Amino acid sequence: MTQISNRSLWSDTLPEAEIARPPCRSTPEGTSDSADVAIVGAGLTGLWTAWYLLQRDPGLRVVLLERETIGFGASGRNGGWCSALLPMSLGKIAGRNSQAVARRMQLAMHETVHEVGRFVKQHATSEIFHQGGSISVARNAPQQHRLTEELEELRRFGFGEDDYRWLAADEATPILNAAGVTGGLHTQHCAVVHPLRLTHAVAREVIAAGADIREHTTVQEIRPGLVVTSHSEIRANVIVRATEGYTPQLAGERRSLLPIYSLMVATEPLPESVWSEIGLADRPAFADGRRMIIYGQRTADGRLAFGGRGAPYHFGSRIKPEFDTNEAIRNLLESSLRELFPQIGGAAITHHWGGVLAAPRDWTCSVRFDRATGMASAGGYVGDGVSTTNLSGRTLAALISNGDDPEGLTRLPWVGHRSRTWEPEPFRWVGVNAARAAAARADRAEQRTGTESALWGGLIDRLLGR
């Protein structure tokens, strides 16, 4: 029997030569230091922000403070979708602004996928980024209804066949030969990446550009002009909070973002004979239309990396290393993967891992900068962060530098947005876990009956405030 590693697949396949190694820097305890910009978190949000700031002004003193190591959080553990997806719908953006503004936000995400690709082409190996698009397949009537509704909304915002198109079953199946496919929504605005290799590629360039990355440095307090760490105090004109799912562990932030666990499994490398049956020849990212989100990709070394939501929310927004794996969820993911792709037969599961993503109460990610206090933040990507972090980094750099903004990034609708806080416990725990259970029940009912689950689906929408 194959031993399952609880390290992420991405950690186990990160080449030693690609690991970004910040120069050792000893800071005597109790000392004070200074910077122009201090960034809390060395994941993709913090790293992209540092990179674009230093492209604008190479003389800036930028320091990144990381409690663990580069890419330790969601940036290095995710499913590897560099997509144009946003957690909030275009309709929701338009409702707060206008249809034109919502369309501009979506176009910015399209461009962001290409921007990440350009960075990789210039600064990293092409193996870590492949733009083969994405396909979300329908496997029963309710799933098809939801996916076609999504397409109709995209059409209302002016996106045509070149951006998003519906595939009939006989068109979708050669791309993704999952069991029971009745159709699919396809777009080219997506790439698959090796997320930890991407994160370290950005970190290497940030270090080369002159930034100071301090790993194993716990930030204890953030306030205007000052970051208090486990070693010292750092005074900075601008302080960027880029802590995503770990934000609730900071003082005063317990209810601002919800840490949701998303877990994954990966198979051993599959032979070409199996891939010829599954499809995914151009390595599109894949999902289906169920309510309990799943996501997957064919990796560069020929594995299926597959994940999904469904792990429990832990009372009080607790985050612990032991929550990164869950035997029941691992079994559920494995059975879902084998049900999707019976072609894999007895292929071994070699990895099981997970981590936290961050959800705002209104499912709307944001970028904020208060010039008066120098305080900035970005996040709340709800799992759609591989590309969105790049857009937030570019946007924060434009806001902080107050310089040229030919793309109009600082006028995008997520700039300055504030979500209401999550409910206090025990209401938060009850509501989130009830929504999780309702999604699972809805999927089972829809698969069994072939009709939409008004009861459980309606409960999900009410609990999440959609």
273 sits in which H/E element: helix 272-278
CB-side exposure of 109: number of CA atoms within 13 Å?
30
**What pLDDT, on a 0 to 100 scale, did the predictor assign at position 430?**
94
DSSP 122: H
Q: Other C-beta atoms within 10 Å of 449: how many?
A: 12
pTM score? 0.96
**What pLDDT, on a 0 to 100 scale, did the predictor assign at position 464?**
54
Give ∠ CA 191-197-203 in degrees, rounded to 5.
Answer: 110
Strand locations in 202-284, DSSP E?
212-214, 219-223, 226-229, 232-241, 258-267
**What pLDDT, on a 0 to 100 scale, did the predictor assign at position 461?**
60
**What pLDDT, on a 0 to 100 scale, did the predictor assign at position 2?**
75
Pairing, β 375-379 against β 232-241: parallel
**Cα–Cα distances in angstroms (integers) from residue 301 to residues 174, 269, 305, 442, in the given order:** 21, 6, 11, 35
**What pLDDT, on a 0 to 100 scale, did the predictor assign at position 47?**
98
Helix axes 99-123, 385-401, angle to 10 degrees: 100
In the chain, DSSP finds a helix count (H) and a strand count (E) of 12, 19
CA distance 252 to 20: 32
pLDDT tens sequence for the chain (466 residues) = 678 999 999 999 999 999 999 987 656 566 679 999 999 999 999 999 999 999 999 999 999 999 999 999 999 999 999 999 999 999 999 999 999 999 999 999 999 999 999 999 999 999 999 999 999 999 999 999 999 999 999 999 999 999 999 999 999 999 999 999 999 999 999 999 999 999 999 999 999 999 999 999 999 999 999 999 988 899 999 999 999 999 999 999 999 999 999 999 999 999 999 999 999 999 999 999 999 999 999 999 999 999 998 899 999 999 999 999 999 999 999 999 999 999 999 999 999 999 999 999 999 999 999 999 999 999 999 999 999 999 999 999 999 998 899 999 999 999 999 999 999 999 999 999 999 998 999 899 888 888 987 655 655 565 455 5
**What pLDDT, on a 0 to 100 scale, did the predictor assign at position 452?**
86
Tell me how long the chain is.
Answer: 466
**What pLDDT, on a 0 to 100 scale, did the predictor assign at position 245?**
97
